[in-house]
Amino acid sequence: MASSSHLPIGAMSRLAWRNLWRNHRRTFIMLLAISVGVWAMIFMTALMRGMVDQMIEDGIDSLPGLVQVHHPEFRDDPSIDHRIPQPDAEKSLALQIPEITGWAPRIRVPAMISSERNNRGITLLGVDPQGEIALGFDPQSIIEGRFLESSDDKGLVVGAKLLERLETRLGKRVVVMSQDPENNIADRGFRIVGVYKAKLSGLEETFIYGGLTTIQALLDVPGEVSEIAVTGHDYRDVDSLHQRVSGIYGKGFETLPWMEMDTYLGMMMKMMDGFVLVWIIVIFLALSFGLVNTLMMAVFERVREIGLMQALGMKPSAILYQILLESLMLLALGLLLGNILAVASILPVRDGIDISSVAEGMEMMGASSVLYPALKLKDLLMANSVVIVLGIVTSLLPAWRASQYRPVEAIAKT
């Protein structure tokens, strides 16, 4: 038979559970505080994670691709002067690897578009339609007309906002002007065959799409392009993809992953993981005061009882263990309820939260008007781990205090 100084784990657990519910009201209040705190941690983290993920994905879609190949001077001066050869059969075959889910050659030059009533500075894109769709262009974003049918399509696809600015409509002709490699004006009339709606309305005023072969003929650069865009499976892990593409193209070309092409998006991704941890710790610090207070009150109410147990032979370490066990049970219950609340509140809005009422402000940050919460397993595990670890650390003070009572003095307290 085990002595009171070495109670079996089952007996210690039953004792801790009964002690926890001696004051139902206080325990319920603390459970509510922990549950709401855990819910806030997970729910707000999912919202922030979803917003940042959406910003990154939208940013990558506008680049597009996870890796791009350019002339070394193209990013400093994105003109047709800094162009590279279109992939030949050998390079095209080399790009057919499992890491690559899509790639496409593209012309990308500054240009001017003019309608009967207005004109605007834009970025002219000469694209292969199938390659562009593989890179992430959504055909469902075409709200009027159609997308380009082939590389030698003579039509033009423009954004809805740009259409408003030009005061024209689908089916009308516009003139596109740019410069060829000889610095001569290259212009041509195009008929608008499609109108697209972008997730970020600013992109609708920036990019217009024409067939790759048609734009190459306009600029007199047959067989040459501005960039090769390559996409893969996971935007968070592009090192191997970057290395493979760099190996295919080698020296004389600038091959960059998306986080170097758009340093703002790269910084956002790096900051997000740090933000999640800081957010969780800040929320728990607010909860820890209530937890310490609850446990300290539980200890003060049981001073005589603790002294009696020590007098009967229970060691101080067993007292400390029992108080920590009570704390762990309280934290476990709070975590269970908090996780259930968080999942229950995230699942109904997983298809998106319409924030169009603040769309303008969100777009200034690079976010779209629909927010998709992203509940990540690693965020759940982090929140639960931090609560357990910091909760036990926080409980050490009242547990240590209880273990330090002298039996005679404790029994004498009224």
Residues 13 and 89 in one domain: no
Residues 200 and 332 in one domain: no
Residues 17 and 108 in one domain: no
Q: What was the pLDDT predicted at 229?
A: 95
Under a CB-based contact definition with an 8 Å cutoff, are residues 329 and 16 in contact? yes
Q: What was the pLDDT predicted at 412?
A: 65
Residues 79 and 125 in one domain: yes
Domain count across the chain: 2
The partner residues of 371 in beta bridges, in order of sequence, read: 353
Look up the domain containing 47 and give its range.
4-59+266-412
Q: What was the pLDDT predicted at 196?
A: 96
Token digits for 220?
């007199």
Residues 240 and 327 in one domain: no
Of 206, 235, 261, the last residue of a domain is 261
Q: What was the pLDDT predicted at 155?
A: 96
Radius of gyration of the chain, Cα coordinates, nearest whole angstrom = 32
Residues 311 and 388 in one domain: yes
Q: What was the pLDDT predicted at 171?
A: 94
Q: What was the pLDDT predicted at 390?
A: 80
Q: Between β-strands 227-231 and 67-70, what pairing exists: parallel, antiparallel or unpaired?
A: antiparallel
Q: What is the pTM of this model?
A: 0.73
Of 214, 245, 261, the last residue of a domain is 261
Q: Between β-strands 173-179 and 67-70, what pairing exists: parallel, antiparallel or unpaired?
A: unpaired
Q: What was the pLDDT predicted at 157?
A: 97
Under a CB-based contact definition with an 8 Å cutoff, are residues 205 and 155 in contact? no
Run means of pLDDT, 10 residues per run, the chain, 414 residues: 55 79 81 85 85 82 90 92 92 90 94 94 96 91 95 96 94 95 93 91 90 96 95 90 91 92 83 78 76 69 72 77 83 91 89 66 58 84 84 79 69 60
Residues 37 and 73 in one domain: no
Residues 25 and 79 in one domain: no
Return d(Cα 199, Cα 278) in angstroms, integer: 30
| Closest C-alpha to 225, from 109, 64, 61, 94 | 109
Residues 166 and 248 in one domain: yes
- Give me the DSSP letters along 258-312: HHHHSHHHHHHHHHHHHHHHHHHHHHHHHHHHHHHHHHHHHHHHTHHHHHHHHHT
Token digits for 157?
């696809």
State whether residue 174 is helix, strand or coil.
strand
Q: What was the pLDDT predicted at 63?
A: 84
Q: Residues 129-178: pLDDT tens digits? A: 999 999 989 999 999 999 999 999 999 999 999 999 999 999 999 999 99
Phi, psi of 24 (to 5 degrees): -60, -45
Residues 35 and 160 in one domain: no
Q: Residues 283-319: pLDDT tens digits? A: 777 777 776 776 677 666 767 777 777 777 778 778 7
Residues 207 and 78 in one domain: yes
CB under 8 Å to 269, separation ≥6 — which residues? 52, 56, 236, 259
Counted residue by residue, the chain has a size of 414
Q: What was the pLDDT predicted at 5?
A: 45
Residues 69 and 218 in one domain: yes
Of 204, 234, 261, the last residue of a domain is 261
